[in-house]
Amino acid sequence: MDIQTIGLCSDHAGYDLKQEIAAWLAAQGYACKDYGTFGRESCDYPDFAHALGKAVTEGEAYPGIAICGTGNGMAMTLNKYPEIRAGLCWNTDIARLVRQHNNANVLVLPARFTTTADALEMVQVFLATDFEGGRHLRRIKKIPIKQ
């Protein structure tokens, strides 16, 4: 994966995990940009998913990491963007496969259902895995709805 500035976002449920991931990424030498939320107060996940989705779409950040309680809200919102392929992951095998087979450009994590250690392993695997292309590229090209 050709990593640039990694975009991060979360809602209140994912805030603490986002902070842990941001610290780990910085310690590994990655540049990051945080698209919010910036605290534990209740907030609306779409606000931050839209900011990250726009940033990845426009090339301001790549890849992205999004975190909310279940991960589903972030994934649903991010996947409204035609250029985004957000993969909800709960173990390293899925984190590897969403990159290899789906060319995911946003990793989505469920903060209420993963440990920090497991989340960091998923981030590491996601960032270290390349898209395989081949038959998978043909399938990815079929994802956008044809008008």
Q: Which residues are catalytic?
A: 101
123/109 Cα distance (integer angstroms): 9
116/97 Cα distance (integer angstroms): 20
27/113 Cα distance (integer angstroms): 24
Dihedral sign (CA 59, 42, 110, 137): negative
CB distance 83 to 55 below 8 Å: no
45/73 Cα distance (integer angstroms): 7
Nearest to 77, CA basis, from 10, 2, 134: 10
102/8 Cα distance (integer angstroms): 20
